[in-house]
Amino acid sequence: MQDGPDDAEELKARLAKLRGDLQAQRDTGKEADRKAEADLTDKGLGQAMSLGFRVLSEFVAAIVVGALIGWQLDEWLGTSPFLLILLLGLGVAAGFWTIYRLAVLPSGRGGSKEP
């Protein structure tokens, strides 16, 4: 193989082309990273927080409603604490069922976000 001036110029041209391609690839990667970061901070994080608060509030509400109804029925019927424990357990089960429905239905309905 000859190491003439033509070969050196050819290699320099290839190196410059590769350097330009690599820089373009890096720029594209940085732009994609910025877009993904913007989606996470703007839209994705808000949706995740919204879903989290919804799950928390529905779970706590189910437990509190079950406990209050059980407590009131125990007061009226004089069966303390049987109905309180029973309906508190049903409230916990209803809370978990709601969380399960929220987690499973979006993917089960063809990508729909709302159940």
Tally of domains in the chain? 1
pLDDT in tens, 36-46: 666 656 677 78
* DSSP per residue, the chain: ----HHHHHHHHHHHHHHHHHHHHHHHHHHHHHHHHHHHIIIIIHHHHHHHHHHHHHHHHHHHHHHHHHHHHHHHHHT-TTHHHHHHHHHHHHHHHHHHHHHHHHHHHTTT-S--
**Structural domain containing residue 61:** 5-108
Residue 103, domain member (yes or no)? yes
Residue 113, domain member (yes or no)? no
Residue 35, domain member (yes or no)? yes
pLDDT in tens, 50-95: 889 999 999 999 999 999 999 999 999 998 899 999 999 999 999 9
Residue 114, domain member (yes or no)? no
pTM: 0.55
pLDDT in tens, 4-42: 677 888 888 898 998 988 888 888 877 777 776 666 566
Copy the structure tokens of residue 56: 């928390």
